[in-house]
């Protein structure tokens, strides 16, 4: 074999070694990435499982909050009863102890036995004292838990009452507006027999809230000194100042009022000549 052939064989051998090294490196790299992806997937599944468990635990805690409060009160009462019984037993033992001490002084022959009884009774008293202390500690903890639960329940009741009160206020406002609408629809002549026009308070200023079927609702009302059968001028400032007509007040309450719209000139007018929300009112 010539030198050129040997060189070619050596180069082929060298390139095969390099290629095998690249193949091995690619395989190891791909294996590492796959392992990392599997680890991340397992971690994500564990996190999802933990989140589900926490949500389930939260729902269970909410479901048993009322039951826990009731159980806490029952346990507190049980511990108080047990505390009373233990205290009475301790007092009885103390009385027996005192009686034994008195008897032992009278009869010297029974002094040793009495002393043994005294020691035994003293141990019982000490044990009962420890039990009473433990029961008192548990009772204090139950009282604190019950008070905390009661505070949470009270806050929830306050919020519920506030929501209910707001709902009742909204319902009352809707009822009043419906009554006003019915009264507007039943309205006829500007003034009933025997009624007379009244003057709006000097400097009165108001704002149109709505217009429907020839009637204008506006603010303010009685609080601003306005009375029924007063006349107001209604006008628009934008895009250009414009006098629209008058409003004869037919209904008024402390915060708002309603009046019959009388167009300027007493003729039919177009949509742009009718009062709109935001138009202004002032004393005639």
Over the stretch 136-174, which tens digit does the pLDDT of each residue have?
A: 788 788 778 777 777 777 887 887 777 777 667 656 655
Q: Measured between alpha carbons, how far is 167 from 170 in angstroms, rounded to an integer?
A: 5
Residues of the chain below pLDDT 70: 1, 28-34, 36-37, 40, 47, 51, 61, 64-66, 68, 100, 104-114, 117-118, 121, 166-167, 169-196, 266-268
Give the Cβ contact number of residue 182 at 10 Å. Answer: 10
Q: What is the pLDDT of residue 182?
A: 46
Tracing tokens 């308070």 back to the chain, one arrives at 201
Using an 8 Å Cβ cutoff, are 258 and 250 in contact?
A: yes
Residue 255 Cα distances to 72, 203, 235, 261, angstroms: 50, 17, 21, 19
Q: What is the pLDDT of residue 172?
A: 60
User: Model's pTM, two decimal places?
Assistant: 0.34
Q: Measured between alpha carbons, how far is 245 from 272 in angstroms, rounded to an integer?
A: 13
Tens-place pLDDT, residues 117-127: 667 768 777 87
CB neighbours of 225 closer than 8 A, spacing ≥ 6? 201, 204
**What tokens does 225 get?**
């000194």
Fold classified for 205-283: Elongation Factor Tu (Ef-tu); domain 3 (2.40.30)
Is the previous residue joined to 244 through a cis bond, with omega within 30 degrees of 0? no
Q: What is the rounded radius of gyration, in angstroms, for the C-alpha atoms of the chain?
A: 47
Helices 65-106/3-63 angle, 10° precision: 70
Q: What is the pLDDT of residue 207?
A: 96
What value does the mean pLDDT of the chain take?
78
């Amino acid at each position: 074999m010539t030198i050129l052939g040997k060189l070619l064989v050596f180069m082929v051998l060298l390139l095969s070694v390099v290629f095998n090294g690249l193949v091995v490196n690619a395989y190891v790299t791909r294996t590492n990435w796959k392992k990392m992806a599997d680890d991340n997937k397992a971690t994500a599944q564990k996190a999802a499982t933990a989140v589900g468990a926490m949500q389930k635990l939260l729902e269970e805690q909410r479901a048993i909050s009322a039951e826990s409060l009731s159980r806490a009160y029952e346990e507190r009462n049980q511990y108080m009863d047990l505390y009373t019984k233990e205290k009475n037993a301790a007092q009885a033992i103390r009385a027996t102890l005192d009686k034994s001490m008195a008897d032992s002084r009278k009869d010297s022959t029974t002094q040793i036995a009495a002393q043994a009884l005294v020691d035994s009774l003293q141990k019982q008293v000490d044990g009962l004292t420890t039990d009473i202390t433990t029961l008192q500690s548990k009772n204090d903890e139950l009282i604190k838990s019950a008070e905390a639960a009661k505070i949470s329940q009270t806050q929830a009741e306050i919020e519920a009452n506030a929501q209910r009160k707001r709902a009742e206020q909204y319902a009352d406002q809707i009822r009043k507006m419906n009554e006003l609408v019915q009264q507007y629809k039943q309205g006829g002549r500007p003034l009933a027999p025997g009624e007379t026009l009244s003057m709006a308070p000097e400097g009165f200023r108001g704002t149109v809230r709505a217009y429907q079927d020839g009637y204008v609702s506006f603010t303010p009302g009685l609080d601003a000194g306005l009375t029924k059968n007063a006349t107001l001028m209604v006008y628009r400032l934008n895009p250009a100042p414009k006098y629209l007509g008058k409003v004869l007040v037919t209904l008024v309450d402390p915060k708002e009022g309603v009046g019959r719209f009388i167009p300027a000139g007493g003729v039919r007018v177009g949509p742009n000549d009718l009062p709109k929300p935001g138009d202004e009112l002032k004393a005639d």
